Amino acid sequence: MDKPLEGRIAVVTGASRGIGRAAALELARAGAHVVAIARTQGGLEELDDEIRAVGSAATLVPLDLKDLDALDRLGAALYERHGKVDVLLGNAGLLGQIAPINQIDQPTWDAVMTVNLTANWRLIRSLDPLLRASDAGRAIFLTSGAAHKAKAYWGAYAVSKAGLEVMVRTWADETRNITKIRAMLVNPGPLRTRMRATAMPGEDPMTLRTPEDLAPKILTLALPSWQETGKIYDFPTDRVIEALPPG
């Protein structure tokens, strides 16, 4: 079996379920050593069993992304152990409250901004030198169509994803011509995940595609052959688009 990520190190946040789990397994099948980050030890251990079953290996990192200083320690630990990172998948996210923006409480707002935006900034800051040390550093972050719609009641989530998009595009522009880093955003669209079920409780989940459907597309963005940067891969239309899509 072809393993295009053999010998490469892939960091995945939110790796214990949903898109993160499916992507971690896809990267492992391609030969990557997966550094799997999630809050739940049990979920990570189940993922580890699945990664071993496909013939790869993982490092398990039980970590709450709200512990921002721990992300700096993660970068230092990965440098000591591997000297590089080849793939960063910033997948973990919080939905927060679906509520009028003036009714969102401060703890919820802070948690959504920390996990969806600030933690990804800290990951960029911590892992940028390690991605530069790779011969083909690839960074992928999960966004949402909500970032462009300014739709009522989605305030905290939409604001955090809009901020994430500008941050990743800025970093992509800073690294475009002077490094081999390629930084992309992925809009998964509606998938059969726990977050989607929480946001849309009346929806029939069996009408939706799954994280396993998306995972091979994430793998494509993680390959050394991928050369686009600072753009969005839009899964619903299966195309790479500029950061401000039509409609």
In order along its 247 residues, the chain shows pLDDT tens digits of 589 999 999 999 999 999 999 999 999 999 999 999 999 999 999 999 999 999 999 999 999 999 999 999 999 999 999 999 999 999 999 999 889 999 999 999 999 999 999 999 999 999 999 999 999 999 999 999 888 888 899 889 999 999 999 999 999 999 999 999 999 999 997 766 676 666 666 666 766 688 999 999 999 999 999 999 999 999 999 999 987 654 4
Q: How far apart are CA 142 and CA 145, in angstroms?
A: 10
Instruction: Give the residue from 6, 8, 1, 32 showing the smallest Cα distance to 215.
Output: 32
Note whether residue 39 is domain-resident: yes
Note whether residue 212 is domain-resident: yes
Q: Which CATH number do you get for residue 172?
A: 3.40.50.720
Q: Tell me which residue has tokens 């580890």.
A: 48
- Counting beta carbons within 10 angstroms of the beta carbon of residue 243, is it exposed (0 to 12), middle (13 to 18) or buried (19 or more)? middle
| Residue 157 among the catalytic residues | yes
pLDDT of residue 243: 75
pTM, full prediction: 0.94
Note whether residue 1 is domain-resident: no
DSSP strand pairing (9-13 vs 232-234) = unpaired
Note whether residue 154 is domain-resident: yes
Q: How far apart are CA 141 and CA 168, in angstroms?
A: 8
Could you tell me the residue range of the domain that residue 158 belongs to? 9-241
Per the CB < 8 A criterion, the answer to whether 146 and 152 are in contact is no
Sign of CA dihedral 144, 147, 149, 152: positive
Q: Could you say which of 79, 153, 157, 233 is catalytic? A: 157
Note whether residue 181 is domain-resident: yes
Note whether residue 184 is domain-resident: yes
- Count of domains observed in the chain: 1
pLDDT of residue 247: 45
Note whether residue 3 is domain-resident: no
Q: Which ranges of the chain would DSSP assign to H, the alpha helix?
A: 18-29, 41-53, 68-81, 106-113, 119-133, 146-149, 155-175, 194-199, 211-222
| Distances from the Cα of 243 to the Cα of 45, 98, 164, 186, 202, angstroms | 36, 24, 11, 10, 30
Note whether residue 140 is domain-resident: yes
pLDDT of residue 154: 86
Per the CB < 8 A criterion, the answer to whether 20 and 44 are in contact is no
pLDDT of residue 246: 45
